Amino acid sequence: MRSDAMKKGLERAPHRSLFKAMGYTNEELSRPLIGIAHAHNEIIPGHIHLDKVVEAVKAGVRLAGGTPVTFATIGVCDGIAMNHTGMKYSLASREIVADSVEIMGQAHPFDAMVLVPNCDKIVPGMMMAMLRLNIPAVMVSGGPMLVGRYHGKDVHLVSVFEGVGRVKAGTMTPAELDELEDAACPTCGSCSGMFTANSMNCLSEALGLSLPGNGTIPAISAARIRLAKHAGMAVMNMFHEQIKPRDIATRKAFENAMAVDMALGCSTNTVLHVPAIAGEAGVDLDLNLFNEVSYRFPHICSLIPGGPHSLQELDEAGGVQGVMLELSKTETGLHQDVMTVTGAKLGENLRRAFVRDREVIRPVDDPYHSEGGIAILSGNLAPDGSVVKQSAVSEEMLNHSGPARVYESEEEAQEAILGGEINEGDVVVIRYCGPRGGPGMPEMLSPTSAIVGMGLGKSVALITDGRFSGGTQGACIGHVSPEAAEGGPIGLVREGDRIVVDIPNRALTLKVDETELARRKESWQPPAPKITTGYAARYAKMVTSGSTGAVLK
């Protein structure tokens, strides 16, 4: 056993003594030691209940003959960190999560691990660590929040962000917003909708690194606790069979996950996280592969915020396994010979899959959209690419041309939007918000929600070298690369320049001739760093482009 390095033999008597200081018995130390990495805290709704999930995992490990050993890592709530300095630390926290789990797994050589995250950067961070360590491991998340109800309608966190814009526009009263605020987030769990957390939890299941049901079983369901117990048992089987994460997360598995990404209409943040996770597995995913997969697999689930259906409805309809069963019927199909943490290959798992609701999971020959949910746009404004959640863009905004309204920060743009300075047809450009310039590529749910709340969602486009939330809807194009802080063309845009968005043809064009752009480039100077001390300053110096997953050098 790997753990023998810290517990077996005469020379390990001091080590055993330290274990016994914590109450471990010889019987427990004789069994496989299973590390349980979790991110339980009291600042994230998706993590407030993870202590109960962890207890269920521990029970499963013990049922299967292992000894569980828990430890914690950090977690940032993107919603609470939104639209202030805190958001500069959100994406950057992914690397800390990955590093901390790696450190614990190397300093204490566990025989296997179970990882228990739930929200935006914690899920991909733990998946990156799984693949770095490459010891038998299973991920089990805390599950999605239920939708709230307000005046007979389903509501969620983004409803509240949009409510701020509605109050400013005079279509909602402050008292109504107070009522909505109390109703929108009714339970623990990752925020209800196909936002980043739920996107990544669904993709962990599609990759085969978590058990069927991980992406969709509600946080408050008893089935979530049973799933956690089964995860504890599954990791023991993986230990005995020596099935490791890199045996599962192959290129074929990543292609399957990208197909599910397209079918569900996942967050644009998956375009950052999936390549970063793949890199840890030694799999190179070119950004253009997202377009290739998008052309091959249709968008068959219309989920909040771009559509009407909730994660709970998706779970009842058949969940991620049901979606994969349907995608297996496409012309190219899925790779069904890939291994999963069930100990069986995907094809065998799909024999137990089902689709109960054909409105929630559409047939592949009657999809919501013939192409997948995400598109990669390029052109002279984004030579290295940019990302849009095309499944959440209204028909009239798939092609758009308008004058640039240029802002050097999210705060400046938000003030202009809520101040009524943005007109129908405008293209709002928010720059110096990339991985280096942000720093940390801040997510911008506030301005996108304000645009919708102000009634401009079907007439105004937003473009940034930062990120848009998975809760975003509309013509919101993020990850523009190279970023402005690295001298990218987005840093050369001037007020009034015409920008053309052509999503069907995957193009993002600044209508300024090359001679003029070259002249502007000569006079361009990089801005001073926004943060000059601490982790964010170090991160800005080490981080790579959004087009390569914003990983550290």
- The set of catalytic residues is 469
Q: How far apart are CA 474 and CA 397, in angstroms?
A: 8
User: How far from the centroid of its chain's Cα atoms is residue 239's Cα?
Assistant: 28
Burial class (CB in 10 A: 0-12, 13-18, 19+), 534: exposed
Dihedral angle of Cα 153, 303, 386, 458, to the nearest 10 degrees: -40
Q: Kindly state the tokens that stand for 218.
A: 């509600």
Residue 204 near residue 131, CB atoms below 8 Å:
no
Residue 524 near residue 486, CB atoms below 8 Å:
no
Burial class (CB in 10 A: 0-12, 13-18, 19+), 370: exposed
Secondary structure of the chain: what % helix, strand, coil (to 5)? 45, 15, 40
SS (H, E, C) 161-217: HHHHHHHHHCCCCHHHHHHHHHHCCCCCCECCCCCHHHHHHHHHHHHCCECCCCCCC
Q: How far apart are CA 262 and CA 390, in angstroms?
A: 10
479 CB-side CA count, 13 A: 28
* Residue from 496, 498, 489 nearest 518 by CA: 489
Alpha helices in 108-138 (DSSP H): 122-133
342-346: which pairs have CB atoms within 8 A and are 24 or more residues apart? Answer: 342/211, 342/212, 342/234, 343/234, 343/237, 343/238, 343/241, 343/243, 346/208, 346/256
Residue 369 φ/ψ, nearest 5 degrees: -140, 145
